[in-house]
Amino acid sequence: MEKKQKKTLIDRFLNGIEVAGNKLPDPITIFAMLAVLVLAASWVLHKIGITAISPSNGEQLEVVNLLSREGLHQILTGMVTNFTSFAPLGIVIVAMIGIGVAEHSGLITTVMKKTVLSAPKKLIVPVLIFTAIFGSVATDAAYIILPPIAAMIFLSIGRHPIVGMVAAYAAIAGGFSANILITSLDVLLAGITEESAKLVNADFVGAATMNYYFMAVSTVFLVFVATWVTVKIVEPRFGKYEGQVEVLEKVTPQENKAMWAAIGSALVYIGLILCMVLPADGLLRGENGAFLQSPFMSGIVPIMLFLFLIPGIVYGVVVGTIKSDRDVAGMMFKAMSDLSSFIVLAFVAAQMIAFFSWSNIGTILAIKGAEALQAMNFTGVPMFIGFIFIVALVNLLMASASAKWVLLAPIFVPMFMYLGYSPAVTQMAYRVGDSITNPITPLLAYFAMLLAFAKKYDKNIKMGTLISALIPYSLFFAMMWIILFAVWLLLGLPMGPGETLKIDI
């Protein structure tokens, strides 16, 4: 990868991160080493007697020794299950079946050409960033769908494809708690917040919209920040792409006809889905007509599969790239072959993450970190900034937003309520801290997927290069979000509809 010499402090810092990171072993080896380290740490910390009191039920937690007789049995008997139950694995494979057909039939390429040839190039990056942030509506499916498409967009206009991929991934991961729509995560976190707030006020009701105002405003800010980081910091570091660049040719009449046929099939499919979702008693609605907690939301990945698969097949049949069912099967096989490196990596990563969970090390570290912040006795804006940093650090050890909030909410929601702050404020501070380190935590399993996808364009790319490209997003997201949060608190603005900044208990 071509590098331009820079003398800025930021670039020297990122160069150091990249050089150090690229000296690390292959990611498979790293995860294997981490797995061994977790096993050893579980033995040492168990012998020392490290414990913590669970804030949710008052139970004493201790580190589980995985090198004991019982631990070794659990490792051997759970190894296959760890892999097959590794959530990102199934999501990636299922989503890529549809995406693979849409890609190899030529549909995605045609749509990208049509879009790029008709759209102002200056708007491509902000539109991509906004789409990635908005993609959190599709939950984890966004990680699978958008980065490869972003790479194709950048490649088609002569820009480095990995820059597009990194920008999309950073916007999805770092902007997971910003959106203009309410998502299933809002419902999940609000439920946890409500249960924690009832420890102080039994009548408290947590609304899924409690953070909506701040989230919507954050979306606008993040689009500008991520666009600036992409254009001014990340893209110059990658330089000119030396691989094969696809020359943008005009869409042929046959391709145009096939594309509109594919779009028509997609609209029909979307219409059928809407018919099952919009009515209160629709087939894909949940219990009592629930939308966010429904088969539609929990089944978003297979729904996205067919959203790509059906138009991909229609396009291929019309344009001539699909002449029989064997062609469709071949495209699916090719899509799976592109995932081979990720599948191997997923096996090792699944073991390490399972060991970490079984040992209770992550849970105990999270509780200890929360207790440390509580002991600092901060108040006001500094208190919330300290809380954000604690959550950001814990996020490097525990990637699940809901799992961390289950642990932290029973401590911080009541504590801040006693100080007069609404649970909506505490929840939003948590979401900020949870989001800003998402792009750089290796425990977010989709980081391994990003590395696997990036190797399509640079076979020699290493973890250090990706981390150095993602760090600027985390740093500037953190600065923007903390400043916005501090100003929001100082102005006394509500976090969402019907919410107040301060409460009386």
What DSSP assignment string belongs to 253-293? HHHHHHHHHHHHHHHHHHHHHHHHHSSTT-TT--GGG-SSS
Mean pLDDT of the chain: 83
| Average pLDDT value for residue range 8-21 | 66
Q: What is the pLDDT of residue 479?
A: 94
What mean pLDDT do residues 460-473 have?
Answer: 86
Establish if 307 belongs to a structural domain.
yes
> Quick one: average pLDDT of 307-331?
93
* DSSP symbols for 478-501: HHHHHHHHHHHHHHT--SSTT--S
DSSP 8-state class, residue 231:
I
Sequence-distant (≥ 6) Cβ neighbours of residue 285 within 8 angstroms: 276, 277, 279, 291, 294, 295, 296
More confident residue, 61 or 448: 61
Distance in angstroms (rounded) separating the CA atoms of residues 216 and 211: 9
Band of pLDDT at residue 2, cut at 50, 70 and 90: very low
Residue 93 sits at φ, ψ, to 5 deg, of: -65, -45
- What is the Cα gyration radius of the chain? 24
Domain membership of residue 399 (yes or no) is yes
Reply yes or no on whether the pLDDT at 269 is more than 80: yes
Task: Spell 420-444 as b/e; 16+ CB within 10 A means b.
Answer: ebbbbbbbbbbbbbbbbbbbbbbbb
**Domain assignment of residue 116, yes or no:** yes
Q: Is the pLDDT of residue 298 over 80?
A: no
pLDDT of residue 491: 92
Measured distance CA(44)–CA(376) in Å, rounded:
28
292 pLDDT band (50/70/90 cuts)? low
Task: Name which of 11, 463, 460 is nearest 237 in CA terms.
Answer: 11
Rounded distance between C-alpha atoms, residue 22 and residue 270, angstroms? 44
- Is residue 291 assigned to a domain? yes
- Grouping H, G, I as helix, E, B as strand and the rest as coil, residue 48 is helix
Q: For residue range 162-220, what is the model confidence (pLDDT) as tens digits? A: 999 999 999 999 888 888 877 767 777 887 888 778 877 778 877 778 898 999 999 99
Q: Are the C-beta atoms of 357 and 350 separated by less than 8 Å?
A: no
List helix spans (H) across 198-241: 212-229, 235-238
- Mean of the pLDDT values across residues 82-90? 80
Rounded CA-CA distance 193/209 in Å is 12
Q: Is the pLDDT of residue 5 over 60?
A: no
User: What's the pTM?
Assistant: 0.70
Maximum distance among all alpha carbons in the chain?
72
Give the whole-number percent of the chain exceeding pLDDT 70. 87
pLDDT of residue 73: 96
Average pLDDT estimate for 319-331: 93
The tokens for 426 are 């505490």
| pLDDT of 244 strictly over 80 | no
Asked if residue 502 belongs to a domain, the reply is no
The full DSSP string for 67-134 is TSHHHHHHHHHHHHHHHHT-HHHHHHHHHHHHHHHHHHTTHHHHHHHHHHHHS-GGGHHHHHHHHHHH
| Strand pairing report for 60-62 and 51-53 | antiparallel
Sorting pLDDT into bands at 50, 70 and 90, what band is 259?
very high
Residue 498: what pLDDT? Answer: 81
- For residue 242 the two structure tokens come to 């030396």
Cα(98)–Cα(49) distance, integer angstroms? 50
For residue 43, give Cα distances in angstroms to 50, 336, 369.
Answer: 11, 39, 21
Q: Among 16-20, 232-236, 328-332, whose mean pLDDT is lowest?
A: 16-20
Average pLDDT over residues 306-333: 93
Q: Does 500 fall in a domain?
A: no
> Phi and psi (nearest 5°) for 319?
-85, -20
Contacts of 121 (CB under 8 A, 6+ apart): 157
The confidence score (pLDDT) of residue 322 equals 94
Instruction: Check residues 88 and 273 and name the one with the higher pLDDT.
Output: 273
Is the separation of the CB atoms in 229 and 476 below 8 Å?
Answer: yes
**Mean pLDDT along residues 88-106:** 82
Instruction: Please name the residue that has the structure tokens 């399993």.
Output: 445
As a whole number of angstroms, the distance between CA 450 and CA 468 comes to 14
Express each pLDDT in 369-393 by its tens digit: 667 766 776 667 888 998 899 899 8
Within-domain flag for 436? yes
The pLDDT value recorded for residue 365 is 74
Burial 296-314 (b: 16+ CB within 10 A, else e): bbeebbbbbbebbbbbbbb
User: Which whole-number Å values give the CA distances from 82 to 36, 40, 76, 85, in the listed order?
Assistant: 16, 19, 10, 5
Range of the domain at 300: 9-491
DSSP result, 15-31: HHHHHHHHTS--HHHHH
Domains of the chain: total: 1
Q: How far apart (Å, rounded) are the C-alpha atoms in residues 159 and 170?
A: 18
Per-residue pLDDT of 130-145, as tens digits, reads 888 887 765 566 787 7
Residue 75 clears pLDDT 90, i.e. is over it? yes
Q: What is the pLDDT of residue 1?
A: 46
| Tokens standing for residue 339 | 């995932």
CA distance to 18, 33, 442, per residue, from 23 (Å): 9, 15, 16
The letter for the amino acid at 188 is: L
pLDDT score, position 56: 60
254 or 30, higher pLDDT: 254
pLDDT exceeds 50 at position 3: no
Instruction: Say if CB 384 and CB 402 are below 8 A apart.
Output: no
Mean pLDDT of 354-366: 81
The share of the chain scoring above pLDDT 90, in percent, equals 30
- Within a domain: 144: yes
Phi, psi of 151 (to 5 degrees): -60, -40
**Given this model, what pLDDT does residue 381 score?**
85
Note the pLDDT tens digit of each residue in 389-403.
Answer: 989 988 887 766 776
Query: What does the alpha-carbon distance between residue 87 and residue 85 come to, in Å, rounded to a whole number?
Result: 6
Contact in structure between 311 and 263 (CB atoms under 8 Å): yes
Crossing angle between the packed helical segments 161-174 and 423-436, to the nearest 10 degrees: 160
Of the pLDDT bands very low, low, confident and very high (cuts 50, 70, 90), residue 77 is very high
More confident of the two residues 218 and 443: 218
